[in-house]
Chain A
Protein backbone atom coordinates (compact mmCIF):
# COMPACT_ATOMS: atom_id res chain seq x y z
CA UNK A 1 0.00 0.00 0.00
CA UNK A 2 1.31 3.44 -0.91
CA UNK A 3 1.64 5.87 1.98
CA UNK A 4 0.24 9.38 1.98
CA UNK A 5 3.77 10.80 1.72
CA UNK A 6 4.90 8.39 -1.01
CA UNK A 7 7.24 10.26 -3.37
CA UNK A 8 7.24 7.89 -6.34
CA UNK A 9 6.17 9.66 -9.52
CA UNK A 10 3.11 7.89 -10.92
CA UNK A 11 3.88 8.61 -14.58
CA UNK A 12 7.17 6.71 -14.32
CA UNK A 13 7.15 2.89 -14.32
CA UNK A 14 8.29 1.34 -11.03
CA UNK A 15 9.14 -2.24 -10.13
CA UNK A 16 6.73 -4.60 -8.40
CA UNK A 17 5.63 -3.53 -4.94
CA UNK A 18 7.06 -5.38 -1.98
CA UNK A 19 7.58 -4.75 1.73
CA UNK A 20 10.67 -4.11 3.82
CA UNK A 21 10.67 -4.61 7.56
CA UNK A 22 12.09 -1.32 8.90
CA UNK A 23 12.62 -1.43 12.68
CA UNK A 24 9.72 -3.87 12.81
CA UNK A 25 7.30 -1.84 10.65
CA UNK A 26 6.32 -2.70 7.09
CA UNK A 27 7.59 -0.10 4.63
CA UNK A 28 6.60 -0.31 0.96
CA UNK A 29 9.34 -0.59 -1.65
CA UNK A 30 9.57 -1.27 -5.37
CA UNK A 31 11.80 -3.89 -6.98
CA UNK A 32 14.85 -2.19 -8.50
CA UNK A 33 15.17 0.33 -5.67
CA UNK A 34 17.94 0.33 -3.11
CA UNK A 35 17.04 0.26 0.57
CA UNK A 36 17.96 3.95 0.94
CA UNK A 37 15.79 5.00 -2.01
CA UNK A 38 12.86 2.84 -0.90
CA UNK A 39 12.90 4.27 2.63
CA UNK A 40 13.11 7.85 1.33
CA UNK A 41 10.39 7.32 -1.28
CA UNK A 42 8.14 5.94 1.46
CA UNK A 43 8.74 8.94 3.69
CA UNK A 44 11.40 7.67 6.13
CA UNK A 45 14.16 10.12 7.07
CA UNK A 46 16.84 9.26 9.64
CA UNK A 47 18.82 6.13 8.71
CA UNK A 48 21.39 6.10 11.51
CA UNK A 49 23.38 8.22 13.95
CA UNK A 50 26.89 9.56 13.59
CA UNK A 51 29.71 7.98 15.51
CA UNK A 52 30.84 10.76 17.88
CA UNK A 53 28.06 13.28 18.48
CA UNK A 54 25.24 10.91 17.47
CA UNK A 55 23.89 13.43 15.02
CA UNK A 56 21.09 12.18 12.78
CA UNK A 57 22.26 10.71 9.49
CA UNK A 58 20.35 10.22 6.27
CA UNK A 59 21.84 9.08 2.97
CA UNK A 60 24.14 11.54 1.23
CA UNK A 61 25.90 10.56 -2.01
CA UNK A 62 23.48 7.75 -2.97
CA UNK A 63 26.35 6.28 -5.00
CA UNK A 64 28.05 3.94 -2.53
CA UNK A 65 30.93 6.26 -1.71
CA UNK A 66 30.23 8.16 1.51
CA UNK A 67 29.61 6.60 4.89
CA UNK A 68 26.27 8.20 5.64
CA UNK A 69 23.80 5.36 5.04
CA UNK A 70 25.34 2.43 6.90
CA UNK A 71 22.54 0.31 8.36
CA UNK A 72 22.02 -3.11 9.83
CA UNK A 73 20.44 -5.21 7.10
CA UNK A 74 19.31 -8.81 7.63
CA UNK A 75 21.43 -9.01 10.76
CA UNK A 76 24.62 -7.67 9.19
CA UNK A 77 26.07 -4.36 10.46
CA UNK A 78 27.46 -1.48 8.39
CA UNK A 79 25.76 -2.34 5.11
CA UNK A 80 25.39 0.55 2.68
CA UNK A 81 21.66 1.08 2.29
CA UNK A 82 22.19 2.93 -1.00
CA UNK A 83 23.86 -0.10 -2.61
CA UNK A 84 21.62 -2.83 -1.27
CA UNK A 85 18.75 -3.80 -3.59
CA UNK A 86 15.45 -4.30 -1.78
CA UNK A 87 13.99 -7.77 -1.23
CA UNK A 88 10.66 -8.85 0.21
CA UNK A 89 10.81 -9.09 3.99
CA UNK A 90 14.33 -7.65 4.25
CA UNK A 91 15.06 -6.64 7.87
CA UNK A 92 16.41 -3.10 8.00
CA UNK A 93 17.50 -1.41 11.24
CA UNK A 94 19.21 1.82 12.25
CA UNK A 95 22.50 1.51 14.13
CA UNK A 96 24.74 3.54 16.49
CA UNK A 97 21.82 4.59 18.62
CA UNK A 98 20.69 3.87 22.19
CA UNK A 99 18.04 2.83 22.95
CA UNK A 100 16.55 3.24 19.43
CA UNK A 101 17.42 5.04 16.21
CA UNK A 102 14.33 7.21 16.47
CA UNK A 103 15.11 8.31 20.02
CA UNK A 104 18.83 8.36 20.80
CA UNK A 105 19.86 9.57 24.27
CA UNK A 106 23.46 9.67 23.07
CA UNK A 107 22.47 12.63 20.93
CA UNK A 108 23.07 14.54 24.18
CA UNK A 109 26.77 14.47 23.26
CA UNK A 110 25.99 16.88 20.44
CA UNK A 111 24.09 19.19 22.83
CA UNK A 112 26.67 19.17 25.64
CA UNK A 113 29.61 19.84 23.32
CA UNK A 114 28.28 22.59 21.05
CA UNK A 115 31.77 23.53 19.96
CA UNK A 116 32.91 19.95 19.66
CA UNK A 117 35.25 17.93 21.84
CA UNK A 118 38.94 17.31 21.44
CA UNK A 119 39.58 13.73 22.50
CA UNK A 120 43.27 14.58 23.01
CA UNK A 121 42.43 16.57 26.12
CA UNK A 122 39.59 14.47 27.53
CA UNK A 123 39.31 11.79 30.15
CA UNK A 124 42.98 11.62 31.03
CA UNK A 125 42.75 12.07 34.80
CA UNK A 126 42.14 10.84 37.40
CA UNK A 127 43.28 7.45 36.23
CA UNK A 128 40.47 5.44 37.86
CA UNK A 129 37.82 7.61 36.23
CA UNK A 130 39.66 7.33 32.96
CA UNK A 131 39.49 3.52 33.16
CA UNK A 132 35.75 3.61 33.82
CA UNK A 133 35.07 6.10 31.05
CA UNK A 134 37.12 4.01 28.66
CA UNK A 135 34.79 1.08 29.31
CA UNK A 136 31.75 3.27 28.73
CA UNK A 137 33.20 4.68 25.53
CA UNK A 138 33.96 1.17 24.24
CA UNK A 139 30.34 0.15 24.86
CA UNK A 140 28.97 3.19 23.04
CA UNK A 141 31.57 3.73 20.36
CA UNK A 142 32.23 1.84 17.18
CA UNK A 143 30.08 1.32 14.15
CA UNK A 144 27.24 -1.12 14.61
CA UNK A 145 27.14 -4.40 16.51
CA UNK A 146 28.46 -7.80 15.45
CA UNK A 147 26.43 -9.83 12.93
CA UNK A 148 23.65 -12.17 14.12
CA UNK A 149 25.43 -15.11 12.49
CA UNK A 150 29.22 -15.38 12.08
CA UNK A 151 30.52 -15.96 8.57
CA UNK A 152 31.41 -19.56 7.84
CA UNK A 153 34.68 -19.90 5.88
CA UNK A 154 33.52 -23.21 4.41
CA UNK A 155 30.65 -21.51 2.59
CA UNK A 156 32.81 -18.85 0.98
CA UNK A 157 33.34 -19.07 -2.74
CA UNK A 158 36.89 -19.66 -3.91
CA UNK A 159 38.66 -16.71 -5.56
CA UNK A 160 38.61 -16.80 -9.35
CA UNK A 161 40.99 -15.35 -11.93
CA UNK A 162 40.38 -13.72 -15.26
CA UNK A 163 42.87 -12.36 -17.79
CA UNK A 164 41.83 -9.92 -20.51
CA UNK A 165 43.49 -7.57 -22.97
CA UNK A 166 41.90 -4.49 -21.45
CA UNK A 167 40.15 -3.95 -18.15
CA UNK A 168 38.17 -0.74 -17.72
CA UNK A 169 37.28 0.25 -14.17
CA UNK A 170 34.08 2.27 -14.06
CA UNK A 171 30.95 2.13 -16.24
CA UNK A 172 30.10 5.80 -16.58
CA UNK A 173 30.22 7.78 -19.83
CA UNK A 174 34.04 7.67 -20.03
CA UNK A 175 34.41 3.98 -19.18
CA UNK A 176 31.61 2.84 -21.48
CA UNK A 177 33.01 4.91 -24.35
CA UNK A 178 36.53 3.64 -23.82
CA UNK A 179 35.54 -0.03 -23.50
CA UNK A 180 33.37 0.19 -26.62
CA UNK A 181 36.38 1.48 -28.61
CA UNK A 182 38.81 -1.18 -27.34
CA UNK A 183 36.32 -3.96 -28.05
CA UNK A 184 35.70 -2.59 -31.55
CA UNK A 185 39.47 -2.59 -31.96
CA UNK A 186 39.46 -6.34 -31.41
CA UNK A 187 40.66 -6.34 -27.82
CA UNK A 188 39.10 -8.66 -25.25
CA UNK A 189 37.65 -6.07 -22.89
CA UNK A 190 36.20 -6.37 -19.39
CA UNK A 191 34.30 -3.44 -17.89
CA UNK A 192 33.76 -3.47 -14.11
CA UNK A 193 31.17 -1.23 -12.46
CA UNK A 194 30.20 -1.09 -8.82
CA UNK A 195 26.55 -0.16 -9.35
CA UNK A 196 23.79 -2.64 -10.12
CA UNK A 197 22.92 -0.49 -13.10
CA UNK A 198 25.70 0.65 -15.47
CA UNK A 199 25.78 4.27 -16.62
CA UNK A 200 27.40 6.25 -13.81
CA UNK A 201 26.66 9.96 -13.91
CA UNK A 202 24.41 9.53 -16.99
CA UNK A 203 21.81 8.12 -14.60
CA UNK A 204 21.85 11.33 -12.55
CA UNK A 205 21.54 13.76 -15.46
CA UNK A 206 18.07 14.90 -16.58
CA UNK A 207 19.29 15.50 -20.15
CA UNK A 208 20.83 12.02 -20.45
CA UNK A 209 19.18 9.63 -18.02
CA UNK A 210 18.22 5.98 -18.19
CA UNK A 211 17.83 5.95 -21.97
CA UNK A 212 21.31 7.36 -22.62
CA UNK A 213 22.80 4.89 -20.14
CA UNK A 214 21.00 1.98 -21.78
CA UNK A 215 22.14 3.09 -25.24
CA UNK A 216 25.78 3.41 -24.16
CA UNK A 217 25.59 0.00 -22.49
CA UNK A 218 23.96 -1.57 -25.55
CA UNK A 219 26.72 -0.17 -27.77
CA UNK A 220 29.38 -1.63 -25.46
CA UNK A 221 27.71 -5.04 -25.37
CA UNK A 222 27.26 -5.04 -29.15
CA UNK A 223 30.97 -4.29 -29.56
CA UNK A 224 31.72 -7.36 -27.44
CA UNK A 225 32.54 -5.83 -24.07
CA UNK A 226 32.06 -8.15 -21.12
CA UNK A 227 30.26 -6.10 -18.46
CA UNK A 228 30.54 -6.98 -14.79
CA UNK A 229 28.11 -4.86 -12.73
CA UNK A 230 27.53 -4.82 -8.94
CA UNK A 231 31.28 -5.47 -8.71
CA UNK A 232 33.72 -3.20 -6.92
CA UNK A 233 37.42 -3.00 -7.72
CA UNK A 234 38.95 -2.95 -4.24
CA UNK A 235 42.64 -2.59 -4.87
CA UNK A 236 45.67 -2.88 -7.11
CA UNK A 237 48.06 -5.38 -5.54
CA UNK A 238 51.42 -4.79 -7.25
CA UNK A 239 53.28 -7.66 -5.58
CA UNK A 240 50.78 -10.51 -5.83
CA UNK A 241 50.53 -12.84 -8.80
CA UNK A 242 47.04 -13.98 -9.79
CA UNK A 243 48.28 -17.50 -10.58
CA UNK A 244 51.29 -19.57 -9.50
CA UNK A 245 54.36 -18.43 -11.36
CA UNK A 246 52.50 -15.55 -12.99
CA UNK A 247 53.74 -12.01 -13.16
CA UNK A 248 52.96 -9.87 -10.14
CA UNK A 249 50.20 -7.26 -10.22
CA UNK A 250 46.46 -7.79 -10.07
CA UNK A 251 43.19 -6.00 -9.47
CA UNK A 252 41.07 -7.46 -6.66
CA UNK A 253 37.39 -7.27 -7.55
CA UNK A 254 34.55 -7.89 -5.10
CA UNK A 255 31.82 -9.54 -7.16
CA UNK A 256 28.50 -11.00 -5.94
CA UNK A 257 30.14 -14.41 -6.49
CA UNK A 258 33.18 -13.60 -4.34
CA UNK A 259 36.70 -12.42 -5.05
CA UNK A 260 37.83 -12.12 -8.67
CA UNK A 261 41.48 -11.47 -9.50
CA UNK A 262 41.79 -9.59 -12.77
CA UNK A 263 44.96 -9.23 -14.80
CA UNK A 264 45.15 -7.38 -18.09
CA UNK A 265 47.59 -6.12 -20.70
CA UNK A 266 46.14 -2.61 -20.29
CA UNK A 267 44.44 -1.02 -17.31
CA UNK A 268 42.04 1.89 -17.76
CA UNK A 269 40.75 3.86 -14.78
CA UNK A 270 37.47 5.62 -15.53
CA UNK A 271 36.47 5.80 -11.89
CA UNK A 272 34.71 9.16 -12.12
CA UNK A 273 34.31 11.52 -9.20
CA UNK A 274 32.95 11.66 -5.68
CA UNK A 275 30.18 14.08 -4.74
CA UNK A 276 31.17 16.80 -2.29
CA UNK A 277 29.30 18.96 0.19
CA UNK A 278 29.54 22.69 0.86
CA UNK A 279 30.81 23.88 4.24
CA UNK A 280 28.26 25.62 6.49
CA UNK A 281 26.85 25.13 9.97
CA UNK A 282 24.91 21.86 10.23
CA UNK A 283 25.78 20.94 6.65
CA UNK A 284 25.45 17.27 7.66
CA UNK A 285 21.71 17.48 8.32
CA UNK A 286 19.75 14.79 6.47
CA UNK A 287 18.28 16.39 3.36
CA UNK A 288 21.41 18.36 2.51
CA UNK A 289 22.45 16.31 -0.50
CA UNK A 290 24.81 16.54 -3.45
CA UNK A 291 22.96 17.62 -6.58
CA UNK A 292 23.80 14.35 -8.35
CA UNK A 293 22.16 12.33 -5.54
CA UNK A 294 19.01 14.40 -6.08
CA UNK A 295 19.40 13.77 -9.80
CA UNK A 296 19.65 10.01 -9.20
CA UNK A 297 16.43 10.02 -7.19
CA UNK A 298 14.60 11.85 -9.94
CA UNK A 299 16.20 10.49 -13.10
CA UNK A 300 17.03 6.89 -12.27
CA UNK A 301 14.44 6.06 -9.64
CA UNK A 302 11.46 8.21 -10.68
CA UNK A 303 11.13 9.66 -7.19
CA UNK A 304 10.14 13.28 -6.59
CA UNK A 305 12.88 14.43 -4.23
CA UNK A 306 11.15 17.46 -2.70
CA UNK A 307 8.33 19.99 -2.88
CA UNK A 308 10.48 23.05 -2.05
CA UNK A 309 14.10 22.29 -2.90
CA UNK A 310 16.98 24.76 -2.83
CA UNK A 311 19.57 24.16 -5.57
CA UNK A 312 23.03 25.56 -4.82
CA UNK A 313 25.47 26.20 -7.66
CA UNK A 314 25.66 28.11 -10.94
CA UNK A 315 27.07 25.47 -13.29
CA UNK A 316 25.23 23.69 -16.13
CA UNK A 317 24.35 20.72 -13.95
CA UNK A 318 22.73 22.88 -11.25
CA UNK A 319 20.69 24.54 -13.99
CA UNK A 320 19.62 21.25 -15.58
CA UNK A 321 18.64 19.78 -12.22
CA UNK A 322 16.68 22.86 -11.12
CA UNK A 323 14.75 22.82 -14.43
CA UNK A 324 13.99 19.11 -14.08
CA UNK A 325 12.81 19.53 -10.48
CA UNK A 326 10.53 22.36 -11.59
CA UNK A 327 9.15 20.17 -14.40
CA UNK A 328 8.38 17.54 -11.75
CA UNK A 329 6.23 20.15 -10.00
CA UNK A 330 8.62 21.37 -7.32
CA UNK A 331 8.92 24.99 -6.22
CA UNK A 332 12.65 25.50 -6.78
CA UNK A 333 14.83 28.25 -5.30
CA UNK A 334 18.28 28.69 -6.80
CA UNK A 335 21.31 30.00 -4.95
CA UNK A 336 24.40 30.57 -7.04
CA UNK A 337 26.84 29.57 -4.28
CA UNK A 338 29.10 32.53 -5.09
CA UNK A 339 27.32 35.84 -4.48
CA UNK A 340 24.86 34.13 -2.20
CA UNK A 341 26.03 31.27 -0.01
CA UNK A 342 24.40 29.11 2.64
CA UNK A 343 25.50 30.02 6.17
CA UNK A 344 23.57 27.42 8.13
CA UNK A 345 20.96 24.69 7.79
CA UNK A 346 18.08 24.36 10.25
CA UNK A 347 16.04 21.32 11.16
CA UNK A 348 17.14 18.21 13.02
CA UNK A 349 16.04 14.92 11.47
CA UNK A 350 15.61 16.60 8.08
CA UNK A 351 16.44 20.08 6.76
CA UNK A 352 13.56 22.57 7.15
CA UNK A 353 15.17 25.87 6.19
CA UNK A 354 18.52 27.48 5.41
CA UNK A 355 20.09 30.79 6.29
CA UNK A 356 22.08 32.45 3.51
CA UNK A 357 24.32 35.48 3.23
CA UNK A 358 21.29 37.33 1.88
CA UNK A 359 18.27 35.68 3.43
CA UNK A 360 17.61 35.07 7.12
CA UNK A 361 15.29 32.15 6.60
CA UNK A 362 14.57 30.31 3.40
CA UNK A 363 12.10 27.49 4.00
CA UNK A 364 12.87 24.29 2.12
CA UNK A 365 12.57 20.53 2.37
CA UNK A 366 15.81 19.66 0.56
CA UNK A 367 19.13 21.29 -0.32
CA UNK A 368 20.87 20.11 -3.50
CA UNK A 369 24.52 21.19 -3.47
CA UNK A 370 26.20 21.21 -6.88
CA UNK A 371 29.78 21.44 -5.62
CA UNK A 372 32.66 20.40 -7.87
CA UNK A 373 32.98 16.61 -7.49
CA UNK A 374 36.37 15.20 -6.48
CA UNK A 375 38.28 12.88 -8.87
CA UNK A 376 38.14 9.27 -7.62
CA UNK A 377 41.88 8.72 -7.93
CA UNK A 378 42.58 6.20 -5.16
CA UNK A 379 42.93 3.12 -7.41
CA UNK A 380 45.19 4.76 -10.01
CA UNK A 381 47.26 6.15 -7.14
CA UNK A 382 47.76 2.60 -5.90
CA UNK A 383 48.78 1.69 -9.44
CA UNK A 384 51.53 4.32 -9.45
CA UNK A 385 49.72 7.02 -11.44
CA UNK A 386 50.91 10.53 -10.60
CA UNK A 387 48.26 12.89 -9.25
CA UNK A 388 48.29 16.59 -8.48
CA UNK A 389 46.05 18.73 -6.31
CA UNK A 390 44.10 21.30 -8.29
CA UNK A 391 41.13 22.97 -6.67
CA UNK A 392 39.72 23.93 -10.09
CA UNK A 393 39.70 20.26 -11.15
CA UNK A 394 37.95 19.11 -7.99
CA UNK A 395 40.90 17.68 -6.08
CA UNK A 396 43.62 15.11 -6.69
CA UNK A 397 43.35 14.35 -10.39
CA UNK A 398 45.34 11.82 -12.43
CA UNK A 399 47.97 13.43 -14.60
CA UNK A 400 47.63 11.95 -18.09
CA UNK A 401 48.25 13.10 -21.66
CA UNK A 402 45.46 14.01 -24.10
CA UNK A 403 44.87 10.35 -24.90
CA UNK A 404 44.72 9.27 -21.26
CA UNK A 405 48.21 7.75 -21.07
CA UNK A 406 49.53 7.80 -17.50
CA UNK A 407 53.13 7.74 -16.32
CA UNK A 408 52.76 4.15 -15.07
CA UNK A 409 53.37 1.54 -17.82
CA UNK A 410 50.24 0.12 -19.51
CA UNK A 411 47.96 2.34 -17.41
CA UNK A 412 45.41 4.85 -18.76
CA UNK A 413 42.82 7.10 -17.17
CA UNK A 414 39.92 9.05 -18.65
CA UNK A 415 36.90 11.05 -17.58
CA UNK A 416 36.36 12.87 -14.28
CA UNK A 417 39.23 11.03 -12.57
CA UNK A 418 41.59 13.17 -14.66
CA UNK A 419 39.87 16.35 -13.38
CA UNK A 420 36.16 17.03 -13.27
CA UNK A 421 34.83 17.84 -16.75
CA UNK A 422 31.28 16.48 -16.81
CA UNK A 423 29.53 14.09 -19.17
CA UNK A 424 30.32 15.51 -22.61
CA UNK A 425 34.04 15.73 -21.82
CA UNK A 426 33.96 12.22 -20.41
CA UNK A 427 32.34 10.78 -23.54
CA UNK A 428 34.96 12.24 -25.88
CA UNK A 429 37.89 11.52 -23.52
CA UNK A 430 36.73 7.92 -23.15
CA UNK A 431 36.56 7.31 -26.88
CA UNK A 432 39.95 8.97 -27.45
CA UNK A 433 41.51 6.93 -24.67
CA UNK A 434 40.03 3.70 -26.07
CA UNK A 435 41.62 4.35 -29.49
CA UNK A 436 44.96 5.11 -27.82
CA UNK A 437 44.75 1.87 -25.85
CA UNK A 438 44.17 -0.11 -29.07
CA UNK A 439 47.04 1.70 -30.80
CA UNK A 440 49.37 0.95 -27.88
CA UNK A 441 49.17 -2.78 -28.62
CA UNK A 442 50.57 -2.47 -32.13
CA UNK A 443 53.07 0.23 -31.12
CA UNK A 444 54.60 -2.21 -28.66
CA UNK A 445 54.48 -5.09 -31.10
CA UNK A 446 52.24 -7.09 -28.81
CA UNK A 447 49.24 -9.02 -30.03
CA UNK A 448 45.96 -9.43 -28.25
CA UNK A 449 46.35 -11.40 -25.06
CA UNK A 450 50.05 -10.68 -24.64
CA UNK A 451 50.88 -10.19 -21.02
CA UNK A 452 52.11 -6.71 -20.17
Chain B
Protein backbone atom coordinates (compact mmCIF):
# COMPACT_ATOMS: atom_id res chain seq x y z
CA UNK B 1 0.00 0.00 0.00
CA UNK B 2 1.09 3.50 -0.70
CA UNK B 3 1.97 5.63 2.28
CA UNK B 4 2.69 8.94 0.64
CA UNK B 5 1.42 12.35 1.63
CA UNK B 6 2.46 14.57 -1.24
CA UNK B 7 3.82 18.05 -0.53
CA UNK B 8 5.05 18.83 -4.05
CA UNK B 9 2.75 17.29 -6.65
CA UNK B 10 4.90 18.23 -9.65
CA UNK B 11 7.99 16.39 -8.42
CA UNK B 12 6.34 13.74 -6.19
CA UNK B 13 8.08 15.05 -3.06
CA UNK B 14 6.47 13.56 0.05
CA UNK B 15 5.98 14.79 3.59
CA UNK B 16 8.55 12.25 4.82
CA UNK B 17 11.06 13.44 2.18
CA UNK B 18 10.83 16.98 3.59
CA UNK B 19 10.95 15.75 7.20
CA UNK B 20 14.02 13.65 6.40
CA UNK B 21 15.73 16.59 4.67
CA UNK B 22 15.08 18.90 7.62
CA UNK B 23 16.39 16.20 9.99
CA UNK B 24 19.66 16.26 8.03
CA UNK B 25 20.02 19.89 9.08
CA UNK B 26 18.66 21.65 5.97
CA UNK B 27 16.39 24.16 7.66
CA UNK B 28 15.66 26.64 4.88
CA UNK B 29 13.26 26.42 1.94
CA UNK B 30 16.12 26.88 -0.52
CA UNK B 31 18.05 23.94 0.96
CA UNK B 32 14.99 21.68 1.01
CA UNK B 33 14.39 22.63 -2.61
CA UNK B 34 17.92 21.71 -3.63
CA UNK B 35 17.89 18.40 -1.75
CA UNK B 36 14.43 17.15 -2.78
CA UNK B 37 13.58 18.99 -5.99
CA UNK B 38 10.54 20.49 -4.27
CA UNK B 39 9.29 23.52 -6.16
CA UNK B 40 11.28 22.81 -9.33
CA UNK B 41 8.40 21.44 -11.40
CA UNK B 42 5.96 23.16 -13.75
CA UNK B 43 4.07 24.98 -10.94
CA UNK B 44 7.33 26.52 -9.70
CA UNK B 45 6.39 26.21 -6.05
CA UNK B 46 2.85 27.61 -6.17
CA UNK B 47 1.44 24.60 -4.36
CA UNK B 48 4.33 23.35 -2.19
CA UNK B 49 6.30 26.34 -0.96
CA UNK B 50 3.93 27.34 1.84
CA UNK B 51 3.76 23.76 3.19
CA UNK B 52 7.55 23.72 3.18
CA UNK B 53 7.66 27.18 4.81
CA UNK B 54 5.49 25.98 7.69
CA UNK B 55 7.75 23.00 8.31
CA UNK B 56 10.87 25.14 8.06
CA UNK B 57 9.40 27.66 10.52
CA UNK B 58 8.69 24.82 12.97
CA UNK B 59 12.25 23.53 12.57
CA UNK B 60 13.43 27.04 13.48
CA UNK B 61 11.46 27.10 16.72
CA UNK B 62 8.33 28.59 15.15
CA UNK B 63 10.11 31.75 14.04
CA UNK B 64 8.32 32.89 10.87
CA UNK B 65 10.62 35.86 10.33
CA UNK B 66 13.59 33.67 9.32
CA UNK B 67 11.61 31.91 6.58
CA UNK B 68 12.55 33.22 3.15
CA UNK B 69 10.84 32.26 -0.13
CA UNK B 70 12.64 30.94 -3.21
CA UNK B 71 14.14 33.63 -5.36
CA UNK B 72 11.39 34.45 -7.85
CA UNK B 73 12.81 34.21 -11.34
CA UNK B 74 11.27 34.81 -14.77
CA UNK B 75 9.09 33.41 -16.11
CA UNK B 76 6.55 32.80 -13.33
CA UNK B 77 4.55 30.52 -15.62
CA UNK B 78 5.88 27.92 -18.06
CA UNK B 79 5.88 29.35 -21.56
CA UNK B 80 7.10 28.09 -24.96
CA UNK B 81 10.61 29.51 -25.42
CA UNK B 82 9.58 30.38 -28.96
CA UNK B 83 7.79 33.53 -27.80
CA UNK B 84 11.12 34.96 -26.66
CA UNK B 85 12.96 33.68 -29.75
CA UNK B 86 12.16 36.46 -32.16
CA UNK B 87 13.88 39.81 -31.81
CA UNK B 88 12.33 43.10 -32.80
CA UNK B 89 14.64 43.76 -35.75
CA UNK B 90 13.92 42.25 -39.15
Contact = CB atoms under 8 A, between A and B. Distances in A.
A68 B7 CA distance: 13
Contacts of A381: 69, 72
A43 B43 CA distance: 26
Interface residues on A, range: 35 or more
A274 B5 contact: no
Given A60-B9, A78-B78, A234-B76, A116 B14 contact: yes
Output the residue of A55, A57, A157, A376 with the most chain B CB within 10 A: A55
A67 B43 contact: yes
A415 to B, nearest CB: 16
Interface in A373-404: 374, 376-379, 381-382, 387-391, 394-396
Nearest to B41: A67
B42 A50 contact: no
Contacts, number: 163
Interface string B44-72: 10110111011001000000110111001
A110 B2 contact: yes
Given A153-B85, A158-B88, A50 B49 contact: no
A254 B77 contact: yes
A16 interface: no
A386 B79 CA distance: 26
A234 B5 contact: no
A235 B64 contact: no
Interface in B73-89: 73-80, 82-88
A53 interface: yes
Nearest to A380: B72
A434 to B, nearest CB: 24
A281 B3 contact: yes
Output the residue of A120, A237, A284, A387 with the most chain B CB within 10 A: A284
Which are the 9 A-B pairs with shortest beta-carbon distances?
A235-B74, A67-B42, A234-B75, A52-B12, A395-B50, A284-B6, A67-B10, A378-B72, A381-B72
18 contacts: A53-B12, A57-B9, A116-B4, A120-B35, A151-B82, A151-B85, A234-B76, A235-B76, A237-B74, A254-B75, A254-B77, A259-B83, A259-B84, A283-B5, A379-B76, A382-B74, A395-B49, A396-B69
Interface of A: 50-53, 55, 57, 60-61, 64-68, 70, 78, 110-111, 114-116, 118, 120, 143, 151, 153, 156-159, 194, 232-237, 252, 254, 258-259, 274-277, 279-284, 374, 376-379, 381-382, 387-391, 394-396
Given A78-B42, A114-B1, 12 more contacts: A65-B47, A66-B9, A66-B47, A67-B42, A67-B47, A151-B85, A279-B7, A388-B65, A389-B57, A389-B65, A389-B68, A394-B50
